[in-house]
Structure 1
Amino acid sequence: MAFFKSVAAISRLRSRVDLFSELKEIVPEHQERVKKLKKEYGNAELGKITADMGIRFRGMTIPDCQKTLPGAFPGGEPLPEAVLWLLLTGKIPSKEQVDSLAQELRSRATIPDYAYKAIDALPVSAHAMTQFTTGVMALQVQSEFQKAYEGGIAKARYWEPTYEDSLNLIARLPSIAAYIYRRKYKDGKIIPMDDSLDYGANYAHMLGFDDPEMLEFMRLYISIHSDHEGGNVSSHTAHLVASPLSDPYLAFAAALNGLAGPLHGLANQEVLRWIRSIVAEFGTPDISTEQLSDYIHKTLNSGQVVPGYGHGVLRKTDPRYTCQREFALKHLPNDPLFQLVSKIKEVVPPILTKLGKVKNPWPNVDAHSGVLLNYYGLTEESYYTVLFGVSRSIGVGPQLIWDRALGLALERPKSVTLEKLEALCGKSS
């Protein structure tokens, strides 16, 4: 009964601009649509589905989001709260709705002492992602979904405690992540949240950065790294782990462990390290096109890939790269590392295209983000994956809520032997 009492108390405080009320109105409609779809077309074979390889947030491109979603000021980058509202409801929020959600997230951001103690039990030398996952698992003790399920709750209402867990998790992640940053790289002193700041700006503030440009970049960074397709390792892991009704904390901790891999969330730090290796080789970031071309061939001939180029899904320049480039052109056009990134973009694609070994020779999001973070003083690249993790929660949370709202089934990936696979391929050819 504790969950239902807490929900009732929260509901009394909610106004017409709050997110839960919006979902309460649209979830039943979507539940009925899914029931009808299963009943009428449950046995239909859809065949191969293809789509233009782009990035969409509820059908909106990143430029659409930048143009339409509320920012901290007119013409500013989209607020992460606005992206969260869009992903959950499919609707463009008003500034009033975004401000209401920002206030709600701040009210949910209290961290229990035992979460900090769990992190402190690890050596300071532990990787930042190890500490981050540990903090998330410690927060799981307060899972509203677990309490509600054990107490008995109708399946159609599973989404409600999932909503509570997801928003609590999203709200608390910046404080946990900032604590780890201050503990591992700085003086260990906690910088308290500022109730006047939005989600992205508060995260930057608690890390120790208050340059308005850095606050604005953090809003953009979180927004564009939130999610773009459920097939990426971290988002799909969260969906898979949640499918047997594991709560959002357990699912998101698993997602973080997938994100920690060098082929996923660690990629942006690999890019920055590679760029620094170029500077170390030539003693300056101001190098000629010929020198850069030689270094790229040297990288490829050593058996390595060019970090930040190519993508498993996209077949064009990643729009997240493009919007970061536009941000850099506006705020730091003369930065030597940014200029080197621009030169790399001109040199790498023709080389990769000529080799003919990659389906996408264009830059992805990781080719740019590390240089921007480095410019604003966040130089600890081993922490960059934690930034990615905080951002990804904005995409994963809505996914988990809708998984429960629509009653999606336990996921059971199929497995076949190599012999069976060879036989199937032989038949199809």
Structure 2
Amino acid sequence: MKMKASDMDQKMKQLVEYCKKSGRIDPNLYIEYDVKRGLRDSNGKGVLTGLTEISDVSAYRVINGRKIPVDGELYYQGYNVGDLITGSQHEKFTFEEVTYLLLFGSLPTEEQFQEFLKILSYYRDLPDNFVREVIMQSTSGNMMNMLQKSVLTLYSYDSDPDNISIPNVLNQSLKLIAQMPLISVYGYQAYRHYHKREHLIIRYPLPELSTAENILRLLRNNGEYSELEAKVLDVALILHAEHGGGNNSTFSTHVISSTGTDTYSAIAASLGSLKGPRHGGANLKVQDMFEDIKGHIKDWEDEKEIRKYLDAMLDGKVFDHSGLIYGMGHAVYTLSDPRAVILKKYAKALSAEKGREEEFALYERVEKIAADAIMEKRQLFKPLCANVDFYSGFVYSMLRLPKELFTAIFAIARISGWCAHRMEELVNAGKIIRPAYKYVGEHRQYTKISERQIRQVGEEDIAAASVSQEQPEEKKEEKETQTDKDNQ
């Protein structure tokens, strides 16, 4: 006989408490066994788990044996990312040039670059009926899940999907890099048509346009965009394309690739990682936070009023009551995040074109005041800076990109880095990645089902579970980094 819904709810509540009780581990054991939670040491620095030549994240200098914080720097294959943006002779195609660099380890000649653009253009198409049969079916409000579904389904359209030889993986990677913008935009168009009852507009990409230009053209009803808009989106793609092998989604690429599985499974896992609000989904939180700030602060130029509200935010009294100011702090950078510095410059230029200078000025004030407020409130001794999430959401809003696509834009950029790291893992034929976990339970004697007693879960168990979840090591780290997220 089928169980009643009310009985089902009650049974599920009991099972939930069993899960909580079974999964609870004494936080002191992490200290006793010197467990590097989050693969970080006691100072919050990442535990060394691999080697890479693809990118370098630099935030300090060692002088006389001491680590001295410096302005952050980001290098792709040895080149400063700022120099790549300002030095490129192919301004509209700089993201494509950076993609070539990440994949092949050197900057292309003019001939090599033109051939590369032709390859991307050739692959910038989806299999026959893929849009109708995959993207238009079971549409989702979350574009990251839609991307995962689509990438996994592409496995079925590949004649040799499990071949992990470098020639085949490179071929698969180039296809995915070229197709990711189409899947993202088409997925959003399907969502807005079926869930928001808006017009369905599906355009084909143009071969002469860059990735950034095609995204804007495919997304907008009139297909129009300004030169500055395309340039700013191109820069945003470059800044999000790569950030070392230790960020959560790229490390996921290494972990999954080390098993010898197919490219589609590896990229789908990376997409799942990037979706999380502690990683790629953070700029949405910044946007929501600023909407709250704008709704509660009457005078955007009054620094005292701003400071008072930010203090209340840190005390968990306003906004989402988390005690966090989103977009501030980073696990590596201290004095500055180079991506935030570069994006801020373009955000200022775009705000002038869009007539949103006052809003940009508010962002600048909050950035400055928040850093001081956090350091005072949390009694931090190291500097604190805005990270790339602080301005990226504002930039995307000025580009009229829908919020549903914010994290997908990140994925469109970061897949270049993921594919480079996947091939690096395969080329070096490393061991399967398998870190150790210490068993801290007890060994027990098996009992027959007739002799077992029902486990009782009472209020004291629920209270104990909530107390044990307040782990001092993580709370300390959260205060130091502002958000206990990987931060790209």
Percent identical: 22
Q: Secondary structure at the match of 1:148?
A: coil
Q: Which residue of 2 aligns with 1:368?
A: 391
236-245 or 53-62, which moves further after superposition? 53-62
Greater share of strand residues, 1 or 2? Answer: 2
Deviations 1:256-276 (A, max 9, x none): 111111111110111011011
Aligned pair 1:377/2:405, yes or no?
Answer: no
Moved more, 178-187 or 253-262: 178-187
Asked if residue 93 in structure 1 is aligned to residue 108 in structure 2, the reply is: yes
In the alignment, residue 214 of structure 2 is paired with which amino acid? N
Q: Which residue number in structure 2 is paired with residue 119 of structure 1? A: 135
Determine whether 1:227 maps to 2:227.
Answer: no
Q: 1:223 to 1:272 in 2, by over 3 A?
A: same
**Contact 2:135 2:183 survives alignment (8 Å):** no
Identify if the C-alpha distance between structure 1 residues 47 and 328 changes in structure 2 by more than 3 Å, giving closer, same or farther. closer
User: How far did residue 341 of structure 1 move?
Assistant: 1.0
Q: Deviation at 1:147?
A: 4.9
Aligned counterparts, 1:341-420, within 5 A: 341-356=363-378, 361-378=384-401, 380-417=402-439
> 1:389: Cα distance to partner?
0.9
1:204 aligns with 2:225: no
- Residue 184 of structure 1, aligned match among 191, 194, 207: 191
Measured in 2, the distance between the counterparts of 1:145 and 1:371 equals: 42
Instruction: Summarize the Cα distance change of 1:51–1:62 in structure 2 as closer, same or farther, 3 Å threshold.
Output: closer
Could you say which structure has the larger radius of gyration? 2
1:346-372 alpha-carbon deviations (Å, 9 max, x no partner): 111111222345555210000001111
Residue type of the alignment partner of 1:148: N
1:165 Cα deviation after fit: 0.7
The amino acid that maps onto 1:68 is G
Deviations 1:279-332 (A, max 9, x none): 111357x34111111111111111321100111222231111111111123342
> Which of structure 1's runs of 4+ aligned residues deviate more than 4 A?
46-51, 357-360
Shift of 1:51: 7.9
**Distance in structure 2 (CA, Å) of the matches to 1:51 and 1:193:** 34
* 1:360 to 1:173, Cα distance in 2 relative to 1, 3 A: farther
Report deviation, 1:47: 11
Where does structure 1 lack aligned partners over 5 or more consecutive residues? 1-45, 150-157, 420-429
TM-score under structure 1 length normalisation: 0.78
Specify which of 296, 311, 323 is matched with residue 297 of structure 1. Answer: 311
- Give the C-alpha shift of residue 345 in structure 1: 1.6
The aligned residue for residue 75 of structure 2 is: 56
- Kindly tell me: are residues 48 and 57 of structure 1, through their superposed partners in 2, closer, same or farther at Cα, counting changes over 3 Å? closer
Q: Distance in 2 between matches of 1:329 and 1:305?
A: 25
| Greater fraction helix | 1
**For each residue in 1:11-35, what CA deviation from the matched residue of structure 2 results, as whole angstroms up to 9, or x when unmatched?**
xxxxxxxxxxxxxxxxxxxxxxxxx
CA distance in 1, matches of 2:181, 2:156: 18
Counterpart among 168, 176, 190 of residue 161 in structure 1: 168
- 2: CA distance between counterparts of 1:217 and 1:391? 13
Q: TM-score, normalised by structure 2?
A: 0.69
Cα distance in structure 1, aligned partners of 2:77 and 2:230: 25
State whether residues 243 and 410 of structure 1, in contact with CA within 8 Å, keep that contact through their aligned partners in structure 2.
yes
Distance across 1 between alignment mates of 2:431 and 2:395: 41
Distance 1:108 1:357 in 2: 52
On the 8 A contact 1:79/1:200 being kept in 2, the answer is: no
Q: Which runs of 5+ in 2 are unaligned?
A: 1-47, 60-72, 193-197, 317-321, 442-488
1:332 paired residue number = 351
Q: Tell me how far apart the structure 2 counterparts of residues 136 and 130 of structure 1 sit (CA, whole Å).
A: 10
Which digits, 9 at most, give the CA deviation of each residue in 1:172-211, with x for residues without a partner? 1111011012222352211210121022221222122522
Structure 2 partner of 1:134: 149
* Root-mean-square deviation (Å): 2.5
User: Aligned equivalents of 1:237 and 1:165: distance in 2?
Assistant: 18
CA distance in 2: counterparts of 1:221 and 1:161, whole angstroms: 29
Whether the 8 Å contact between 2:100 and 2:107 is mirrored in structure 1 is yes
The match for 2:255 is: 240
Change (3 A) 1:132 1:360: farther
Letter in 2 for 1:242: S
Q: Which residue of 196, 203, 206 corresponds with 1:194?
A: 206
Contact 2:155–2:161 at 8 Å: present in 1 too? no
* Aligned position for 2:281: 266
Count of aligned pairs: 359
